[in-house]
Amino acid sequence: MPPFWIVIRQLVEIEEQMATSKKVITREEWEKRLNDVKIRKEDMNKLVMNFLVTEGYVEAAEKFRMESGTEHIDLATITDRMAVKKAVQCGNVEDAIEKVNDLNPEILDTNPQLFFHLQQQRLIELIRNGKVEEALEFAQEELAPRGEENQSFLEELERTVALLAFEDVSNCPVGELMDISQRLKTASEVNAAILTSQSHEKDPKLPSLLKMLIWAQNQLDEKATYPRINDLSNATLEDPTV
């Protein structure tokens, strides 16, 4: 199956050529258009490697590098980055901060928003563990001074401290801060910052290409019927329905 961006390119070209009335495009015609466009295998390999490195699949990245012959990558940096991400996801924020500083102290020194969010997550974990007095002291000493300098930080701090007013956080208006999704959000932010510091793209390209494919198909649906990709997991072309 040709790469997704070939499909996107063809969708755009065909949309430009379509008249206002819908046209039926057969599978044979559609596949011919796709096959007319050639994509270098090296570009495909780079796309796959970009996804594996960005998402932190160390073993898969090494295996793919050996099989495809793509350029050498520093697997140690991926392992270290994933260790930081895992620490945040597990609620071990203090450990995560130490690991980030071991990787590159400038990451947190030059990113006050990221550092605040990590400290905010530390506060959330203290509240989660019922350490009320420690949480209040931490908020006052570590987060309040930053809130005085930044209005958005102050608002986030106030939302977080509000958790202490509720015995049952499930009934708290800001109870989502206690969800695992909040840990994942903070972990993703740290991961992106480390990638940027290592001159890597912070987001993998593949998901963006898939979103472009969906958008392009939705645009073309208004002007033509054609073999559509409905199941992105296997990229199977489904015959057009007239």
- What DSSP line would sit under 141-176, residue for residue? IIIHHHHHH-HHHHHHHHHHHGGGG-SSGGGSTTGG
pLDDT digits (tens, 9 = 90+) for 185-239: 999 999 999 999 988 888 888 888 888 888 988 988 888 888 888 888 888 888 8
Write the pLDDT tens digit of every residue in 58-103. 888 888 888 888 877 777 888 999 999 999 999 999 999 999 999 9
At how many degrees (to 10) do helices 41-55 and 205-221 cross? 120
Answer for the pair 200, 53: CB distance below 8 angstroms, yes or no.
yes
Contact 89, 183 (CB under 8 A): yes
pTM of the predicted model, to two decimals?
0.73
Contact residues for 46 (Cβ-Cβ < 8 A; gap 6+): 70
Distance CA(216)–CA(219), nearest Å, equals 5
